[in-house]
Structure formats: structure tokens, C-alpha cells
Amino acid sequence: MPVLERDDAHIWRRRTTGQSLVRWFGWLLGVAVFVYCWQLISESTTWFFVWDAPRIANDIWTRATPPKWDYITQLGRPIWDTLNIATLGTIIALILAVPVAFLAARNTTPSALFIRPIALLVIVSTRSINSLIWALLLIAIIGPGVFAGVIAIAIRSIGFCAKLLYEAIEEIDHSQVEAITATGASRWQVMAYGIVPQILPAFAGIAVFRWDINIRESTVLGLVGAGGIGLQLSASLNVLAWPQVSLILIVILVAVMISEWVSAKVRGAII
Amino acid sequence: MSHRELDDMLGKGWRKPAFVKNAWLRWALSVGFVAYLIAAFLTIDVDWGRVYEGLDRGWAFVLAFTSPDFISRWGDIWSGLLESIVMTVAASVVGILISIPIGLGAARNIAPLPVYIVCRGIVAISRALQEIIVAILLVAIFGFGPLAGFLTLSFATIGFLSKLLAEDIEAMDKVQAEAIKASGARWMQWINYGVQPQVMPRLVGLSMYRIDINFRESAILGLVGAGGIGATLNTAFDRYEYDTAAAILILIIGIVMALEYLSGIIRARVQ
């Protein structure tokens, strides 16, 4: 314990001089980095627009209220498309995520040396790229539309679902697996009766959790042309139809809240 | 399991218990699910000819990953990437600083009711709005550039971090906080010595996780003009320069992986 001696008195201190110097330099470095970053942002900002922002915000608000309520008749189909993108995307992602998760989990992978790194690479690369970027890419490849949205959501979700699932597989109780093995079960039977029942609740929870996130993400996929309600949003934004924009934002908010409520209910029922 | 139940089961073959116990609910769920799937597939019109034509381009893109082109657009890539990193750093710092008081206010066991309601309201608004939608509105208000992206990410950080921090504070050990209070500590001292040490490890972990998310999100904000690498990526896709796009994606994946690795080390050290 560092003690400072001054005038024959021992004063307790939390850190030694060296430790506090290191900390002090750490903070100095952090502050310097932040100031530098702020300077870069400030350089590429037109400050006149920022000072003008309250007036613009007020202007947009007066244009956007009240929402154009009768526009909602045209939103039925986009909402249905959004729901389909999220649901079908989640289902496809789950179908693809299960084998990836089994290949990535330490206790079920056939080869820890070759196959596991590949599975982990699939998980990391699909997870670290946003669904909007996948949608951009898929639109360039297979053309705009709902299908591109479904695939984009599916690819983005593989990594997420597989990661959570393989962590659940690694945490299973081994004695059950051993018990099934002891009865003379084959590899697949061990899988079906020893491992799957243990991860089924986690699987259902992950599915609903990801579905909830996917509803959120699929509402904006239309901004790049991948179908759903975002298409209407970007069309309304492009013609500066602010009353329609505000109605669409309200609809998106309600959809997100409903999906969150459903997912909370279902997860509550499972756990 | 009672004797009677065991007697009933005697002499019958074992069957796997169903995941949903109630038979009626099980059947209703599966029938409804199949009906939904049929409806969803009928309303998605996939232009298979277009998909087939696109497969060549898709393959070209996959091949581009084997020969990514970092050189010819390096200037654009570097400025975009730097802007993304700068936005991430600045927004994470500001977001974390603001979310600590809001997180304190949103914990029911610390804050009085009026403060609690206000803070929970801020958290709910911030969580309900998607980053990209916030970015669209802020770009309309503040003009193009990284300032809008910075504000978007800070706003999103507040919702995420405050909510999880508040939940952690609500779940903390009351005894320690009371002991500090009993020693006659002022409010600030009470927070500083009674609450902060309990939630600090989790706060550090969550902050690292949020920095990771902020970087991933900063990669798409450019699509709506809020600065960052997204604009460069979008241009690369639009010009069908797959090798440049592949280079950008590889850089994003690499940085996300590095961040995840780093946050893993830091989280292991503080916990």
C-alpha cells in the first residue's frame, strides 16, 4: 500500500506516484484524442447551418404537423412487406445459423483446427456488416425489391443467431450428453436427444429476439430500395411531403413497439 | 411425478415431450404459421430471370474479395474511414458522459419519481427511433457532414447505455450503499463510493460494446449524407467497382474484429 511520508506523518494514498502519473497521461491522451476528433468534425461542418438549425427544425415541425392521416390507406401493403422481410429473413437465417453454430461450438465441431475458424469467420463477417450494406450489395446483384430485403436481413442475422446459439451449445450440461452416449446412441441421436432439448429454449428466445430487431431494421431497408415501408419513407422525403413522413414515422414507431411487446411476451413465456 | 402417472406410463413407449405443452395451442400455432408462410410467399414476387442474370455479378463480387483494390481509391477510402473513426470516438465519449447522469436518473432506487419519469422518457424516445431515421432528420436540420452523424450516434448511445446502466443500478447490492450513507456521506459521496464501484465493471464493458456498435453504425450513416465511410461504399457499389467495395468491407470487418478483441481483453481485466 503506497504511503506518503511528510513531516514524519504517514499519509495513505490509493496509488503510487508512478501509477498516478500513468493514469494522468492516459487521461491527457484521451482528452487530446477527443479534442482532435472534435476539431476534425468542426472543420467539415458548415456552422452557419448549425446556427440556423432551430429555425429549420421549427419549419420542418410546422410542415410535418398534422400528419396526413388518410395516407395510411396506402401503407397497408408496405407494412405487410416489412413484416414478410423480417419474418422470412429470420426463418432463413435460423435455418442457416443452426449448422454454423454446431460447427463453431467447441464441443460439437468436427474439427477445431479447420472447420471452427471458418464458421467463426462466417459469424464475424456477416455480423459486422449492417443489413443496409448487405441490401445495397444485393440490390446491385439481384435487383431492387422485397426479395433483396429478405436475403439482406437473412445474411445479417446468421452471424448474430449463430453466435448466441453456439455460446448456448458450449454451455450445455455434459452429463446428459454422456448419458445418451452411454445408451449406445449414434452421433446424430446424441445430437437429437442430448443436445437439442437443452438448447431449444435458448433457440426460441434467440429467434424471437432477432425477429424483433429485424422488424426495426426492415422498416428502413426501403431507403436503399429493398422494399417495405422505407420505400414510402424515402419517396415522401424526396418530394418533401413532410405530413406523409410524419405519418410513416408514427406507423414505424407503433410497429416497433408492437414487435417489442410480442417478443417480450413470448420470451417471458419461454423462460 | 406421482405413482399414478408412472403406472399410467408403464408399458407404453416413450415419446419426446412436445415443446408447447398445450395440444390445441400447438396445433393453432403450427396451422397459423403455415398459413402465414403461404400468404407471405404468394405476395413476394421474385423476378427469377433478374436473379439469374445477377448471379454472374454476385460471383464477380465474391471473386473481388480475393483481389481487393485498396490502392486506386485509397484517398477516398482513407478520408471516409477517418471520418467514421472520428465520429465514433467523439460520439462515444459524449454519449457515455451524458448517459451516466441519465442512467442514474432512470434507476428507480436512486432517483425521485419526477426525475425517473423524465429520464425514462428520454431513454424510450432514443431507443424507439432508429439511427438511420434520426440521421435523416438531423441531416435535414444541421446540413450534410459528420456533425449530423456525431449527434445521431451520441443520441443512440444515450438510449442504449442509460437503460442498461439503470437496470444494473437497480439490481445492485443495497447494503453497501446504505453503509456509505450511514457514515454520513453526502449525495455525491454516496454515489461515488456506494454505487459507482458496484456498476463500474459493467459500465466499462457496456461502453466498449457500444463503441463497437457505434463504429458499425457509422459505416451506414454516410448513405443518408451524415458522414463516414458509407458514402464511399455507396459510390463504389453504384459504379460497380466491386474490388474497391470489397476493400472497404474488409477494412470494416477488420476494424470491428479488432475492436471486439480489444473489448474482450478490457472486459476480462475489469471484471
A19 pLDDT tier (thresholds 50, 70, 90): confident
Residue A184 domain flag: yes
Rounded (10°) angle between helices B23-43 and A76-104: 110
Query: How far apart are the C-alpha atoms of A236 and A161, rounded to whole Å?
Result: 34
B162 pLDDT tier (thresholds 50, 70, 90): very high
pLDDT confidence of residue A112: 79
Residue A59 domain flag: no
Residues B240, A87: C-beta atoms closer than 8 Å: no
Question: CA nearest A218 in B: which residue?
Answer: B130
Q: How far from B166 is each of B108, B169, B171, B192, CA to CA, in Å? A: 8, 5, 9, 15
Q: What angle do CA B185, B191, B196 make, to 5 degrees?
A: 130
Contacts of B46 in chain A (CB under 8 A): 145, 147
**For A34, which of B90, B128, B227 is closest by C-beta distance?**
B90
How many helices, marked H, and strands, marked E, lie in chain A? 12, 2
Contacts of A201 (CB under 8 A, 6+ apart): A270, A271
Nearest residue to A218 via CA among A123, A150, A127, A129: A150
Domains of chain B with CATH codes: 3-42 (no CATH), 75-270 (1.10.3720.10)
A157 lies in the same domain as A197 = yes
The alpha-carbon gap from A84 to the nearest alpha carbon of chain B, in Å, equals 6
Residue B222: DSSP 8-state: G
Residues A84, B252: C-beta atoms closer than 8 Å: no
* Residue that is written with C-alpha cell 430500395 in the block: A225
Dihedral over Cα of B120, B169, B105, B131: its sign: negative
**For A200, which of B19, B146, B234 is closest by C-beta distance?**
B19
A163 lies in the same domain as A79 = yes
Query: How far apart are the C-alpha atoms of A93 and A127, rounded to whole Å?
Result: 12
Contacts of A237 in chain B (CB under 8 A): 136
Residue A64 domain flag: no
Residue A216 domain flag: yes
**C-alpha dihedral (B31, B33, B35, B36), degrees to nearest 10:** 160
A194 lies in the same domain as A167 = yes
Residues B223, A136: C-beta atoms closer than 8 Å: yes
pTM (2 decimals)? Answer: 0.83
A116 lies in the same domain as A246 = yes
**Residues B137-158 pLDDT 10s:** 888 888 888 899 999 999 999 9
Residue A62 domain flag: no
Q: Is the per-residue pLDDT at A2 higher than 80? A: no
Residues B142, A132: C-beta atoms closer than 8 Å: no
pLDDT confidence of residue B101: 92
Dihedral over Cα of B160, B79, B220, B246: its sign: negative
Contacts of B145 (CB under 8 A, 6+ apart): A41, A44, A45, A46, B225, B226, B227
The alpha-carbon gap from A32 to the nearest alpha carbon of chain B, in Å, equals 11
A157 lies in the same domain as A37 = no
Q: In 3-state terms, what secondary structure has residue B184?
A: coil
pLDDT confidence of residue B268: 82
A32 lies in the same domain as A131 = no
The mean-pLDDT minimum among A5-19, A171-185, A252-266, B235-249 falls in A5-19
Question: CA nearest A60 in B: which residue?
Answer: B141
A114 lies in the same domain as A209 = yes
Asked if A259 contacts A267 with a C-beta cutoff of 8 angstroms, the reply is no
Asked if B265 contacts B205 with a C-beta cutoff of 8 angstroms, the reply is no
Q: Is the per-residue pLDDT at B201 higher than 90? A: no
Return the amino acid letter for A227: G
Residues A60, B140: C-beta atoms closer than 8 Å: yes
Number of domains making up chain A: 2
Long-range contacts of B42-47 (CB under 8 A, 24+ apart): B43/A80, B43/A81, B43/A84, B44/A81, B44/A84, B44/A88, B44/A146, B44/A147, B44/A150, B45/A145, B45/A146, B46/A145, B46/A147, B47/A143, B47/A145, B47/A147
Query: How far apart are the C-alpha atoms of A234 and A252, rounded to whole Å?
Result: 13
Domain that residue A21 falls in: 3-53
Return the amino acid letter for A93: A
Nearest residue to B64 via CA among B248, B229, B216: B248
Q: In 3-state terms, what secondary structure has residue B66?
A: coil
pLDDT confidence of residue B228: 84
Between A271 and B117, the higher pLDDT residue = B117
pLDDT confidence of residue A7: 72
**Residues A225-247 pLDDT 10s:** 888 888 888 888 888 888 888 89
**Residues A97-125 pLDDT 10s:** 999 999 998 888 888 788 888 998 889 88
Asked if B180 contacts B194 with a C-beta cutoff of 8 angstroms, the reply is yes
A105 lies in the same domain as A49 = no
Q: Please tell me the total number of residues recorded for chain B in this structure.
A: 271
Q: Is the per-residue pLDDT at A74 higher than 90? A: no
**For A46, which of B50, B83, B143 is closest by C-beta distance?**
B143
Q: Is the per-residue pLDDT at B8 higher than 70? A: yes
Asked if B115 contacts B187 with a C-beta cutoff of 8 angstroms, the reply is no
A188 lies in the same domain as A87 = yes
Best to test chain B binding among A132, A232, A244 (most B CBs inside 10 Å): A132
In our burial notation (b when 16+ CB lie closer than 10 A, e otherwise), range A232-262 reads bbbebbeeebbbbbbbbbebbbebbeebbee
A105 lies in the same domain as A14 = no
**Residues B47-81 pLDDT 10s:** 788 888 888 888 888 888 888 888 888 888 898 89
Nearest residue to A245 via CA among A85, A61, A93, A112: A61
CATH number at residue A198: 1.10.3720.10
**For A249, which of B61, B133, B233 is closest by C-beta distance?**
B133
Asked if A237 contacts A182 with a C-beta cutoff of 8 angstroms, the reply is no
A99 lies in the same domain as A192 = yes
Residues B257, A128: C-beta atoms closer than 8 Å: yes
Residues B93, A237: C-beta atoms closer than 8 Å: no
pLDDT confidence of residue B125: 87
CB pairs under 8 A between A and B: 142
Q: Give the residue-averaged pLDDT of B202-225.
A: 88
Residue A67 domain flag: no
A133 lies in the same domain as A200 = yes
pLDDT confidence of residue A31: 92
- Phi, psi of B81, rounded to the nearest 5 degrees: -65, -40
Residue A58 domain flag: no
